[in-house]
Amino acid sequence: MQRLSIFAAAAVLFLSQAVASAQTRVQFEKMRQQMVDKVLVAGGIKDQRVLDVFRQIPRHEFVAVEHRQKAYFDMAIPIGDQQTISSPFIVAYMTQSLDPKPTDKVLEIGTGSGFQAAVLSPLVKEVYSIEIVEPLAKSAKRTLERLGYKNVITKAGDGYLGWSEHAPFDKVIVTCSPEEVPQPLVDQLREGGLIVVPVGERFRQTLYLMRKKDGKLEREALLPTLFVPMTGKAEDTRQVKPDPANPQVDNGSFEEKAFESGGQPGWYYEKQVTWQEMSNAPDGKHAITMQNTTPGLSAHILQGFGIDGRQVKNLEVSAWITTKDIVPDLKKDEAPLIAVTLYDSQRRELGHQLIGPVVGDTAWHEIKKVIKVPENAREGILRVGMFGATGTTSFDKIQFKKVDPK
């Protein structure tokens, strides 16, 4: 009887685990389909092949277990070694921009978790992917092999150098940001081939689509982005670096001309934002306006910045704001406000600071707050938005000011 009960208990445990696993698969499947419909399709991704791939690929398999419930949120997720898996929309947008063909041989710089390579795998003939962080390269290789992506070839190495023995490539996709496109990648791209790459300063980058013509790259600016930097030789030769001792908001008064896509220079991940000329703007002639009629749907804009908590003890964050018909969505932080999130050198989150919220109808006025900066802070994300509230909000003259401790 004792032995039978042990077997029975084991069978019950196995059955309960199988049921739980099946329930989890169903949940992930539902979340994945919702992500495609509400984020990719709603965001303007039109390539049906790309959408079909995203409906099939288990993004949760490319992140750590503790992050899996966020796998189908439209957000970047840490994968260790100061790296992240890019948001689904950015991966889909870059993939669509690359115009993948079944005959293409593609070079990817920055394997990361392997997710971008997995997305490309069913769309092209071969994917050659390089990752400079060896533990990530090994982990991605195991994941891709386990999930059956047989036409993805990976290696650990400096992506700045490309992969000359397999050149020329029809397409190149770079999932980290160099200051300029490394020449070896240009040399290894076939004539007429395409490269999608975020180029620029550490916290001010532009995603470009480039075509090789007569040995040189013709550029088309797509939208502002924020990627982890390309390390190795690309970082060693970087000319412009952030000043973490004196953090500043880039284009905080929105006077720079917006991209054709509507994106604001210096900002990224824009949702439901309009760049407008305003006669009563607090600073200059322009401001941004956010409008939302669907409770819970976020309208926002983001920016990264460097900050060294050993040199900046307190930071004053301020902005000018005007609101109309603002109704908060459920919680006080789901309303127009400014949010600052700080991170350590390993990109581990150190907490949030909120400035606001503002509800109802208000004329232009200033909101501000002095936040204490942890000594181990090394970078941050500035978020400006409505975060689920309905109504209309405009922002202008967003600033940082270093405050000496008293």
d(CA 96, CA 165): 27
pLDDT of residue 6: 53
pLDDT of residue 1: 40
pLDDT of residue 331: 60
Contacts of 120 (CB under 8 A, 6+ apart): 95, 98, 100, 106, 108, 127, 152, 173
pLDDT of residue 122: 98
Per-residue pLDDT for 180 more than 50?
A: yes
Task: Tell me whether strands 105-109 and 205-213 are parallel, antiparallel or unpaired.
Answer: unpaired
Which tokens is 62 given? 């490319």
Long-range residue pairs from 276-281, CB within 8 A, at least 24 positions apart, any chain: 276/394, 278/394, 278/396, 280/364, 281/253, 281/396
Across the range 58-66, mean pLDDT stands at 92
Across the range 213-222, mean pLDDT stands at 95
Cis peptide before 357 (omega within 30 of 0): yes
Task: Tell me whether strands 286-292 and 360-372 are parallel, antiparallel or unpaired.
Answer: unpaired
* pLDDT one-digit tens code per residue, 109-157: 999 999 999 999 999 999 999 999 999 999 999 999 999 999 999 999 9
Scanning the structure block, which residue is given the tokens 């049906």? Answer: 48
- Give the CA count within 13 Å in the CB-facing half-sphere of 180: 10
pLDDT of residue 261: 76
Do residues 251 and 266 touch, judged by C-beta distance below 8 A? yes
Positions annotated as catalytic residues are 86
Cis peptide before 168 (omega within 30 of 0): yes
Contacts of 260 (CB under 8 A, 6+ apart): 221
Residue spans of the domains in the chain: they are 21-236, 268-403
* pLDDT one-digit tens code per residue, 346-399: 888 898 899 998 989 999 999 999 999 999 999 999 999 998 889 999 999 999
* pLDDT one-digit tens code per residue, 312-328: 999 999 999 999 999 88
CATH architecture of 21-236: 3-Layer(aba) Sandwich (3.40)
pLDDT of residue 76: 82
Order of all β-strands in the sheet with 286-292: 273-277, 286-292, 390-403, 314-327, 360-372
pLDDT band at 3 (very low <50, low <70, confident <90, very high): very low
Do 21-236 and 268-403 fold alike per CATH?
A: no
pLDDT of residue 20: 46
* pLDDT one-digit tens code per residue, 219-250: 999 989 888 888 888 878 888 888 999 999 99
pLDDT of residue 77: 84
CATH classification number, 268-403, choose in 2.60.120.260, 3.30.450.20, 2.60.120.380, 3.40.190.10: 2.60.120.260
pLDDT of residue 172: 98
pLDDT of residue 332: 55
Lowest mean pLDDT of 212-216, 225-229, 273-277, name the range: 225-229
pLDDT band at 22 (very low <50, low <70, confident <90, very high): low
pLDDT of residue 271: 85
User: Between 3 and 23, where is the model more confident?
Assistant: 23
Do residues 163 and 189 touch, judged by C-beta distance below 8 A? no
pLDDT of residue 8: 55
d(CA 313, CA 338): 19
d(CA 117, CA 109): 10
pLDDT of residue 242: 86
Averaged confidence pLDDT in the chain: 90
pLDDT of residue 14: 53
Output the pTM of the full model: 0.81
First to last CA, the chain: 74
pLDDT of residue 10: 53
User: Between 297 and 356, where is the model more confident?
Assistant: 356
The DSSP annotation for 300-346 comes to EEEEEEE--TTT-SEEEEEEEEEEEEEE--SSTTSSSEEEEEEE-TT
Lowest mean pLDDT of 83-92, 277-286, 328-337, name the range: 328-337
Do residues 309 and 377 touch, judged by C-beta distance below 8 A? yes
